[in-house]
Amino acid sequence: MKITLTTQPKQKPDFSKLGFGKYFTDHMLVMDYENGAWKEPEIVPYAPFAIAPATNILHYAQGIFEGAKAYKTKEGKITVFRIDDNFTRMNKSATRLCMPNFDAKVVKDALFELIKMEKDWIPTEPGTALYIRPTLIANEEVLGVHASKKYRFFIILSPVGSYYAHGLQPTKILVEEQLVRASIGGTGEAKCMGNYAASLMGGEIANSKGFDQALWLDSSEHKYVEEVGSMNMFFVIGDEVVTPALVGSILDGITRRSCIQVLKKYGYKISERRISMDEIVDAYDKGLLKESFGSGTAAVISPVGTISYKGKDMVINGGKMGEITSFLYDKITGIQSERYEDEFGWVTEIK
Ligand code: COI
């Protein structure tokens, strides 16, 4: 693989004050697609690249991405979490967006080289990681609305802390009652850029009212919980942990999958099913809504302290992180940092 080293290594940020996605490492991976084939991946200095103003990613949003994380353990081992699942999902998203699939093995090997080069950028403070952002964009200079014939795949790396500025403090979520993020048959299940653009207005409205995020409901009845946009959702109702079923408009989150697997293995009652806001309000009124949390690569496991729906603020577990949420946070971050045994085979060491 061709590697071009930067001549101007950057000064590293203060790893105890990272926030999310604000700093980028010295190098990135690029791989272009042209004439029906992928070229070799290359590592180049992290820098802006030129895109023609007519390029179709800029006009028609034919673009997808992923989010994964790398860690440095206490013993100095470099690891990644469930990275194969990311590349499998990315190829699925690519298919939905009429983009060419790539060889996950080639990309993974190149990514591992990149991470090894950038090992000093992996933060080790609790709650931090090196965020991996694989991205695939249409790169043909043409204005006709059709699938591009040229693509650019790239991976950038960013040392990150907590996704939310308030860290593990429970989030406040506003149920969005009018706008929709995705509909069945649309692209909601793909990790495509347009889904995030569609979610911005709901997010801004929620922020302007003092909430962290908007909670999306289904597009046809405005009744069933979907996801938050940056997180899948879980609710603990009585002794049942419920997460919305993957009906086609919800992201098949890798952290969501991890939560389900851990809960199943440890004997919790976990259901993937449709869950309506009426059911959640009813459970809250009866004192049965014990906990709620979101899951995501960036958000990890984030407790939800308040859900606001139709003007009613439901404060969950006294606005504090609940027992099952804490258990999952501890278990999953413990496996990621090798505090716990990797009993599910999710961690790969980069050697
Ligand atoms: C992730 O959790 O990695 C995501 O992609 C969600 C968001 C930051 C866009």
Q: How far is the CA of 293 from the centre of ligand 1 (A)?
A: 16
pLDDT at 182: 96
C-alpha 107 to ligand 1 mean position (Å): 20
Cα(193) to ligand 1 centroid in Å equals 11
Closest ligand 1 atom number to CA of residue 296: 2
Return the pLDDT at 165: 85
Q: What pTM was estimated for this model as a whole?
A: 0.97
The reported pLDDT for the residue numbered 167 is 83
CA atoms within 13 A on the CB side of 28: 21
Q: What is the pLDDT of residue 229?
A: 82
CA distance 124 to 276: 40
CA-proximal residue: ligand 1, atom 3 (nearest):
67
CB 64 within 8 A of CB 190: yes
14 alpha carbon – ligand 1 mean position (Å):
22
Residue 298 alpha carbon to ligand 1 centre in Å: 5
Please report the atom of ligand 1 found closest to the CA of residue 163.
8
Ligand 1, CB cutoff 6 Å, lining residues: 67, 196, 230, 296-299
Residue 196 CA: nearest ligand 1 atom is 9
Mutate to test the pocket of ligand 1, among 133, 200, 230 (most ligand atoms within 8 A of CB): 230
Q: Measuring from atom 9 of ligand 1, which residue has the nearest CA? A: 230
How far does the centroid of ligand 1 lie from the alpha carbon of residue 189, in Å?
14
b/e per residue 199-223 (b: at least 16 CB within 10 A): beebbeebeeeebbbbbbbbbeebe
Atom index in ligand 1 nearest the CA of residue 297 equals 2
> Which of 297, 300, 336 is the pocket-test mutation for ligand 1 (most atoms within 8 Å of CB)?
297
Task: Give 135 Cα–ligand 1 centroid separation in angstroms.
Answer: 12
| Residue-level pLDDT, tens digit, the chain, 351 residues | 999 999 999 999 999 999 999 999 999 999 999 999 999 999 999 999 999 999 999 999 999 999 999 999 999 999 999 999 999 999 999 999 999 999 999 999 999 999 999 999 999 999 999 999 999 999 999 999 999 999 999 999 999 999 988 888 999 999 999 999 999 999 999 999 999 999 999 999 999 999 999 999 999 999 999 999 899 999 999 999 999 999 999 999 999 999 999 999 999 999 999 999 999 999 999 999 999 999 999 999 999 999 999 999 999 999 999 999 999 999 999 999 999 999 999 999 999
Distance 120 CA to ligand 1 centre (A): 23
